[in-house]
Amino acid sequence: MSGKLVCVDDYEKYAASVLPKNTLEFYKGGAGEETTLIDNKRAFLRYKLRPRFLRDVSKRDLSTAVLEEKISFPVGISPVAMQKLASPEGEQASVRAAESVNTIFILSTAANSSIEEVAKAAPKCIKWFQLYIFKDRSVTKNLIQRAEKAGFKAIVVTIDTPVFGLRRANMRNQLISSKDPPYKNFDDQGMNTIDDKAGGLAAYVNKLFDDSLKWEDIAWLKTITTLPIILKGVMTAEDAILSVHAKVDGILVSNHGARQLDGTFATIDVLEEIVKAVDNKIEVYLDGGIRDGTDVFKALALGAKMVFMGRPALWGLVHDGEEGVKKVLNIVKHELDTALALCGCCDIGDIRRDMVAKQCCQSKL
Ligand SMILES: Cc1cc2nc3c(=O)[nH]c(=O)nc-3n(C[C@H](O)[C@H](O)[C@H](O)COP(=O)(O)O)c2cc1C
Ligand SMILES: CCCCCCC(=O)C(=O)O
């Protein structure tokens, strides 16, 4: 590709031009017909900004605090498995990028870099650990203890994966083998074997992850860690209220980047009902389809405390490792700063609900 890359879409196009087919399909794809995958992005177009002027926006500040930790702007990196397929340093490059712009990095259980390697790569970064709960609870317990010891600041429990989503591209191409590069967080547990002939990744995940999880298990988790717990995958007001009752510290509104259940609402479309249901009792974050600073602004106006991006960080990583992730984060930061100024805001606290309106009945969207 020629020319300067100036937005997330440019980085995605670059990644699509260089990645092997199977890897691209794994990173890019969603579940089923991919209607939710399209809608996660497209839904943002239905929310329109209402700019305000003549409000002196000469001094602007994008910083905010999340779980009492200060970050330089409200956009972090979602947990994404297998980042060494994007670049040799994988998660270690991504976490360094997050550290350099002072935002939150969430490490996936299914990473190609271990908890300890990531901690060492970016000791000052605010790191959260994403937890998949294994049928073998000793594996789960061990992961939490390692994350605590390595200085991670929160456990993000993914609740939307009792079974693996039906990702048709991955099913057709038999997906990539996970042995190379390996899953570094549980390779010592004798589980780093994937039998491509026996259903590939989906069958492997279904064998390992606990599909009997229920709210009582969240209570159990609270007995084995003192770290804050965030539930990732909440998509309804009902589950948001149960999350408050479960006394977790935050929820991440997410449909797993549309990789689990096709046909759900876009995350931005359920955010407001969830924010209302939670009634300021715990923090609410969002991921899914954020590609631009105006998307961030819209999510904050609808009540998210911060947002996270999954694929955009991967596209930066494919381009030039740590530098690429940093560039993607800084592009979105600059876009958010511009949106802030043009909506008449000086800081994140100035963003108001009435700065965004939902456009109804637009048949083409
Ligand atoms: C390639 C890929 C791998 C992912 N791996 C995980 C994972 O290991 N754990 C998890 O909770 N979510 C995982 N997710 C979901 C992301 O955390 C996040 O919810 C999603 O990517 C957000 O949507 P976006 O990509 O549109 O920003 C993955 C997403 C992608 C694209
Ligand atoms: C044990 C391997 C699990 C990989 C799961 C990654 C994931 O969540 C995804 O969406 O893909």
pLDDT tens string 57-76: 999 999 999 999 999 999 99
Nearest-angstrom CA–CA distance, 220 and 243: 14
The residue type at 60: R
Nearest-angstrom CA–CA distance, 250 and 253: 10
Structure tokens at 19: 């990645």
Provide DSSP, 234-274. Answer: E-SHHHHHHHHHTT-SEEEE--GGGTS-TTPPPHHHHHHHH
For residues 339-358, give the mean pLDDT.
98
Residues with CB under 6 A from ligand 2: 81, 110, 183, 205, 208, 256, 259
Classified as helix, coil or strand, 230 is: strand
| pLDDT exceeds cutoff 80 at 257 | yes
Tell which phi-psi region holds residue 288, choosing left (phi > 0), alpha (psi between -120 and 50) or beta: left
| pLDDT exceeds cutoff 60 at 177 | no
Q: Which stretch of 97-101, 174-178, 313-317 has the lowest confidence by average pLDDT?
A: 174-178
For residues 308-324, give the mean pLDDT.
98
Mean pLDDT taken over the chain = 94
**Residue given tokens 């991006």 in the structure block:** 309
For residue 363, what pLDDT is reported? Answer: 54
Beta bridge partners of 69: 66
Nearest-angstrom CA–CA distance, 44 and 39: 8
Residues 6+ apart with CB under 8 A from 181: 82, 84, 85, 90, 112
84 Cβ below 6 A of ligand 1: no
Query: Torsions phi, psi of 154, nearest 5?
Result: -160, 160
Beta bridge partners of 230: 156, 250
Do 352 and 67 touch, CB atoms closer than 8 A? no
Do 247 and 152 touch, CB atoms closer than 8 A? no
Confidence bin at 189 (pLDDT 50/70/90) = low
Task: Please name the residue whose Cα sits nearest to atom 10 of ligand 2.
Answer: 259
Confidence bin at 360 (pLDDT 50/70/90) = confident
For residues 75-101, give the mean pLDDT.
98
Q: Is 6 annotated as a binding residue?
A: no
| pLDDT exceeds cutoff 60 at 190 | no
For residue 17, what pLDDT is reported? Answer: 98
Confidence bin at 207 (pLDDT 50/70/90) = confident
Do 251 and 285 touch, CB atoms closer than 8 A? yes
Confidence bin at 343 (pLDDT 50/70/90) = very high
Nearest to 11 by CA among 333, 337, 325: 325
Nearest to 156 by CA among 209, 91, 216, 104: 104
Beta bridge partners of 106: 128
Q: How far is CA 96 from CA 6, 68, 127, 265, 359, in A?
A: 21, 21, 11, 33, 39
For residues 30-46, give the mean pLDDT.
98
Task: Please name the residue whose Cα sits nearest to atom 11 of ligand 1.
Answer: 158
Catalytic site includes residue 319: no
**pLDDT, greater one: 182 or 162:** 162
254 Cβ below 6 A of ligand 1: yes
Which superfamily, per CATH, for 8-346?
Answer: Aldolase class I (3.20.20.70)
Q: Is 287 annotated as a binding residue?
A: yes
First to last CA, the chain: 29
Provide DSSP, 110-122. Answer: T-SS-HHHHHHH-
- Ligand closest to Cα of 285 equals 1
Structure tokens at 39: 């809608």
What is the 41 CA–ligand 1 centroid distance (Å)?
Answer: 14
Confidence bin at 180 (pLDDT 50/70/90) = confident
| pLDDT exceeds cutoff 80 at 167 | yes
Nearest-angstrom CA–CA distance, 250 and 215: 15
| Whether the predicted interface score ipTM is above 0.90 | yes
Nearest-angstrom CA–CA distance, 266 and 22: 26
Task: Please name the residue whose Cα sits nearest to atom 4 of ligand 2.
Answer: 110
For residue 194, what pLDDT is reported? Answer: 57
SS3 per-residue string spanning 298-359: HHHHCCCCEEEECHHHHHHHHHHHHHHHHHHHHHHHHHHHHHHHHCCCCEHHHCCHHHEEEC
Pairing state between β 250-253 and 104-107: unpaired
- Ligand 2 probe mutation, 84, 178, 205, 254, most atoms within 8 A of CB: 205
Q: Which stretch of 74-88, 188-202, 271-285, 289-303 has the lowest confidence by average pLDDT?
A: 188-202
| pLDDT exceeds cutoff 60 at 124 | yes
Q: What is the largest CA-CA distance in the chain?
A: 64
